[in-house]
Amino acid sequence: MSKRDEMMHYLNPLHVYCRLCRIFSKERALQLAIAYEFYFYRPWLGW
C-alpha cells in the first residue's frame, strides 16, 4: 500500500466523522465531516 493510499484511507470522510463523534454530538460531527469532504478531501482528490 502506497503512502497516498494510506493517507486516503486515514483521511476518508467516514473515518473523520467517527473521530469527530468522540468530540462532538453526532449532528455536529456530521456537519463538520460534510464540510471537510467538500472543502478539503474532494479538492485533494481532484474532484
CA distances from 35 to 2, 14, 17, 22, 39 (A): 26, 12, 11, 18, 6
pLDDT at 22: 97
pLDDT at 5: 87
pLDDT at 31: 98
pLDDT in tens, 1-47: 899 888 888 899 999 999 999 999 999 999 999 999 999 999 988 87
pTM score: 0.81
pLDDT at 29: 98
pLDDT at 44: 85
